[in-house]
Amino acid sequence: MSGGAVRARIRKMQERKIIEEFFIKVEPPVLGYGILYFVVSGQNINEILEQAKLVGEPYFMVPCVGGITVCGISIKENLNQKIELAKKLMKDVRVLSIFEAENPEFISNLTKTDLEILEELIKNPRQRIEQIAKDTKMSTKTITRCIEKLHENDGIQFTLVYDPEKIENFIPHAILTWIKGDLKETLENMNNSFSESYLQIPFIAKNQIVLFMYSDNIFKMDELTQKVRNIKNVESADLFIPKRISFYSKWIEKAILDFKKSPKLHLTYQTN
């Protein structure tokens, strides 16, 4: 397709609110945070958010068909204690499951310069390099080098948030997989088998891979889920049909602010 045709289609999807926003998704371990995952019964987002904030900062929130909500909470430290705390505090919602996934092989060696540019990109991921250079008083060469570095980091994705309910004639769905084995090898096998059904690039979340896919009927959706379960290293796979997808960046802003106060020049974490 030509660039003009692509721009026109993107603009049309934005006008129809299919594309809600462009977003930089940062895996919490990249900035030294852990993640707790919750599956709760109920879809009162404000209520669930208030409960989640008792434990940590919300990372994402996805109400799904069937009356359940999947959410992620970024935690700075003491994850095991926070799990027990969550069980005691989250009394106003029915918690179906709560867990911390194992650490991935995310390596972060971000500098203060990288984080300052990331901070600008969070405000608007589609900014021109020249505008970021002007706002940060850095050279375009520095900005370009930093953005390339962010692109190469598996824990950072330039992506978008869409409204599943506004996609006509197709059923968007997510398959949450638990991986026991080589994560990158498994992702490569999934890409080879299912890329034609991808709605967007899969999310890598610790020892999990989340596949965002689409099907034209529920039978194909179930068939895809069964095929995913048969991929090497996939321990289990659960199907979710999202009604809405929300990501939150307040925890990222806080992490960057805390590091700016630090005397360190590099934010270095290796979790494996």
Residue 268 CA: distances (Å) to CA of 34, 36, 206, 259, 271:
15, 21, 17, 11, 10
Predicted TM-score (pTM) of this structure: 0.79
Q: 17-108+153-163+246-263 has which fold?
A: Alpha-Beta Plaits (3.30.70)
Higher-pLDDT residue of 260 and 24 is: 24
Among residues 184, 272, 50, which one has the least CA distance to residue 58? 50
- Asked if 17-108+153-163+246-263 and 167-240 have one fold, the answer is yes
Please spell the DSSP secondary structure of 189-237, one letter per residue.
HHHHHHGGGEEEEEEEETTEEEEEEEESSHHHHHHHHHHHHTSTTEEEE
Q: Find the angle CA(9)-CA(10)-CA(16) to the nearest 5 degrees.
A: 90
Superfamily of domain covering 167-240: ACT-like. Chain A, domain 2 (3.30.70.1150)
Whether residue 51 contacts residue 90, with contact meaning beta carbons closer than 8 Å, is answered with yes
Alpha-carbon gap, residue 236 to 33, rounded angstroms = 25
Segment 22-47, tens digit of pLDDT: 999 888 888 888 888 888 887 777 87
Quote the mean pLDDT of the chain.
85
Q: Domain limits of the chain?
A: 17-108+153-163+246-263, 167-240
How far is Cα of residue 167 from the mean position of the Cα atoms in its chain? 20
Whether the per-residue pLDDT at 93 is higher than 80: the answer is no
**Structure tokens of 56?**
């940590």
122-178 pLDDT tens trace: 999 999 999 999 999 999 999 999 999 999 888 888 888 999 999 989 999 999 898
Q: DSSP label at 56?
A: S
Range 105-131 average pLDDT: 87
Q: In this structure, how many other beta carbons lie within 10 angstroms of the beta carbon of residue 136?
A: 16
d(CA 272, CA 266): 19
Condensed to tens digits (0 to 9), the pLDDT of residues 196-216 reads 999 988 887 667 888 999 999
- Which residue(s) pair with 106 in the sheet? 271
| Angle at 253 (CA atoms; ends 247, 257), nearest 5 degrees | 165
Give the angle subtended at the CA of 174 by the CAs of 34 and 16, to the nearest 5°.
Answer: 105
Instruction: Tell me the mean pLDDT in the region 105-133.
Output: 88
